[in-house]
Amino acid sequence: MDPFKALIATRTDGGQTIAFGRMHASDLMDGDVLVRVTHSTINYKDGLALTGKAPILRKSPMVPGIDFAGTVAHSDHPGFKTGDDVVLNGWGVGESHSGGYAEYARVNGDWLVPRPGAFSRAETMAIGTAGYTAMLAVLALEMHGAAPSGGPVLVTGAAGGVGSVAVALLAKLGYAVTASTGRRAEAGFLTALGVREVIDRAELAGPARPLGKERWAAAIDVAGSHTLANVVSQMRYGGVVAATGLAQGMDLSGSVAPFILRGVTLAGIDSVMCPAPKRRIAWDRLARDLDPAVLASLTVTRKLDEVLALAPEILAGKVRGRIVLEVA
C-alpha cells in the first residue's frame, strides 16, 4: 500500500505539535480490520484534542479523530469482509488508538458498526458521535418514562452538534422542545429544526437554587456544571435529565432535593464504551427517527485539511450543527 495522508500529533517536552504528513501501513496500530477512510467529522472532544486544551491524546505519535466512515480494505474479522461499508464512533479511537483523520485506519473489528442503509457514508459522519450521543440520550429519556404527552423537554447547547441533532429527533417524535443557547442569532435555525421556545443560556449559567420552579418534564444537557445543576433543580416531578457533556465544566454543585423531593432521575450518557448491541439500536433508531432533509439542513461539508482551523471554533461555540470532513 502506498504512503497515505494523515494528521499526526506528537507530544514533546515543549508541548504538542500537530501537522499533516505521510504514513505507511506499518505505522498503523494493531487491529484485525483495515479501513479506507472516506469521511470523518469534528466533535467537541476532537477540538480539545487538536488544540491541546485537554489531555485527550494519550499516546504519541497519534492520529486524532474519534469518528470515521469508510470501506473495509482488508479484514481478518469474521463479521466484516473487503468492501463492507462501516462506521466507527469512540472506543478510544482518536485518543489511545489512532483515529479517523487519515486515509486509512486499522482497528478492532468489534468496534465497527455496519453502515445503516438509510445513510450514506457522509451522512453517518453528519451524525457522528455527536448525533449518536443525542440518540443515546433520547433512548435514556424514553427508558425513564419520558413521552411527548408528559410536558416540555429542554435541550441545552441546542445549536451545537449534540444539541441540534437532539432537537431534530425530539421534534420529529412530537415533543415540545425548549432550546437553551448562547447564540440568540440562531433562533431561526432552531425554530426550523422544530423548537417551540428559545431561552438564553444565561438563565441557567449561574449557581443553582436547591429547588427551582418546575419547568421541564425531561432534558438533555451538554454543559454540566451550573447549567446541569439548574436544569436538575427545575425539573418537574418524576422528570429525567440525560447528561452528555461538560462544555461549561466537569463540576456539579447542587442539592439532593430534586432527587428526594421530586423523584428526578439523572442519567449519564457514555458514547465511548457503549456496548455494541446498544450502538446498533441507536443507529437503527437514527435511521427511523432522523429526517435526512433535516440532517442536511444542519450540516456543512469541509475538507480534512480545514480541521485544524475548525478546532478552536468548535470550542468557542462558533460551529452550528454538524460538520462532515471529506478525507478520501
The mean pLDDT of 103-130, rounded to a whole number, is: 96
Confidence of residue 1 (pLDDT cuts 50, 70, 90): confident
The mean pLDDT of 32-46, rounded to a whole number, is: 96
Query: Which fold is adopted by the domain 4-115+298-326?
Result: Quinone Oxidoreductase; Chain A, domain 1 (3.90.180)
Q: How far apart are CA 75 and CA 114, in angstroms?
A: 13
pLDDT at 136 over 90: yes
pLDDT of residue 205: 96
CATH 3.90.180.10 maps onto the chain at 4-115+298-326
Predicted structure pTM score:
0.92
Confidence of residue 183 (pLDDT cuts 50, 70, 90): confident
The mean pLDDT of 19-47, rounded to a whole number, is: 96
pLDDT tens-digit series, residues 56-66: 999 999 999 99
pLDDT tens-digit series, residues 187-231: 999 999 999 999 999 999 999 999 999 999 999 999 999 999 999
Grouping H, G, I as helix, E, B as strand and the rest as coil, residue 281 is helix
Note the helical H segments in the chain: 44-51, 121-143, 161-172, 187-193, 225-233, 257-261, 276-289, 292-297, 307-315
pLDDT of residue 13: 81
Confidence of residue 15 (pLDDT cuts 50, 70, 90): confident
Instruction: Say if residues 139 and 121 touch (Cβ distance below 8 Å).
Output: no
Any residues with CB less than 8 A from the CB of 23 and at least 6 apart, and which?
A: 3, 4, 5, 6, 8, 63, 102, 104
Confidence of residue 104 (pLDDT cuts 50, 70, 90): very high
Ranges assigned E (strand) in 137-255:
153-155, 177-181, 197-200, 216-221, 235-243
Q: How many residues does the chain have?
A: 328
Q: Domain 128-268: give its CATH code.
A: 3.40.50.720
Strand partners, 23: 4
CATH 3.40.50.720 maps onto the chain at 128-268
Of 87-91, 180-184, 208-212, 257-261, minimum mean pLDDT range: 180-184
State the average pLDDT for the chain: 95
Between the two ends of the chain, the Cα-to-Cα distance in Å is 15
